[in-house]
Structure 1
Amino acid sequence: MSMDQLEDGVEAASARFDRALARLDTSVKKFNARIGELHRMEVDTQRLVSERAKLASELDKASARAKRLDDSAHDVSRRLVEAMETVRDVLAK
């Protein structure tokens, strides 16, 4: 093998190596971008989970308040009926 052939082989190997490094660099950049996107999705997911828990708690509180209001309305209605019956009885005498 002559010196020129050896130099050509080294140059070809060096060019292949440079192309491989460029492909590796591109792959690493794409991988890092995917990792960054995954991290953003994880942060968003945690925020949504937290928000959901907060909304669920607020819904529970609102439901409990609505139940108390419904119970109070029922009690007021019952008392009004009793008062009307008492007034009828008084007027009937």
Structure 2
Amino acid sequence: MSDTELQDGLTAASARFDRALARLDQSVQELGTRMRQHNRMEVDTQRLVHERARLATELDKSAARAKRLDDSAHDVSRRLVEAMETVRSVLAKAE
């Protein structure tokens, strides 16, 4: 092998090595980007989980309040019917 061939081989190997390093650097940068995106998604997911829990608690409270209001409305309706029947009874006796 002549010096020229050896030099050409070293130049080619050096060029391949430089390209491999450039690809490795690019891969490391892409991995860093993906890791940052993943971390942001994790934070967003945790925020959504907490928000969901808060909303579920609010919904439970609202449902309980609606049930109490419905029960109260039913009780008021029952009392009104009783009062109307009492008034009718009194009026019927007065006639």
Q: TM-score, normalised by structure 1?
A: 0.92
- For the pair 1:28 / 2:28, whether they are aligned, the reply is yes
| Amino acid paired to 1:26 | Q
1:91 & 1:16 partners in 2: Cα distance?
109
Pairing of 1:48-63 with structure 2 (within 5 A): 48-63=48-63
Please, which runs of 5 or more residues in structure 2 have no aligned partner? none
Report how far residue 76 of structure 1 moved: 0.3
Report how far residue 36 of structure 1 moved: 1.2
2:70 & 2:12 partners in 1: Cα distance?
85
Pairing of 1:35-54 with structure 2 (within 5 A): 35-54=35-54
Structure 1 segments of 4+ aligned residues over 6 angstroms from their partners: none
| Amino acid paired to 1:79 | R
Percent pairwise identity:
75
- CA-based RMSD of the aligned residues comes to 1.1
2:50 & 2:6 partners in 1: Cα distance?
65
Report how far residue 8 of structure 1 moved: 2.1
Aligned to 1:82: 82
Aligned to 1:66: 66
1:5 & 1:81 partners in 2: Cα distance?
110
Please, which runs of 5 or more residues in structure 1 have no aligned partner? none
1:12 & 1:88 partners in 2: Cα distance?
110
| Amino acid paired to 1:40 | R
1:83 & 1:5 partners in 2: Cα distance?
114
Aligned to 1:9: 9
Q: TM-score, normalised by structure 2?
A: 0.90
| Amino acid paired to 2:8 | D
How many aligned residue pairs are there?
93
